[in-house]
Amino acid sequence: MTLVGTVGRDAWTRQALCAGHPDRGAWFPENPQDAKRAKAVCRACPVSAECLAFALKTGQSEGIWGGTTPYERRRMRRAGLAAAPAAPLPSN
């Protein structure tokens, strides 16, 4: 997760559950289990919609953002969902 560089820029980042999380490497998953751990935290995060909207708007191509992988975000953009950031998060 790349929020380390964005904390303080947007108010929502102050509520990010991943900021300072002891398992931060999970947001840059090297295997499906890492991604599952990060996504589980994202599902409970109060700013997941804002996070996903930011990632889609800025074209984040690395890491887990708003409970989505880069592959999932590419699919969302192709489906035209970048303009609808409040879409439900993927369940896994």
Return the number of the residue (15 or 83) whose C-beta is nearest ligand SF4: 15
The site for ligand SF4 (CB under 6 A) is made up of: 1, 3, 16-18, 27, 41-42, 45, 47-48, 51, 64-67
8 Å CB contact between 51 and 12: yes
- Residues facing residue 7 across a β-bridge: 10
8 Å CB contact between 28 and 63: yes
Q: How far is the CB of 83 from ligand SF4 (least distance, A)?
A: 19
How far is Cα of residue 83 from the mean position of the Cα atoms in its chain? 16
Q: How far is the CB of 79 from ligand SF4 (least distance, A)?
A: 20
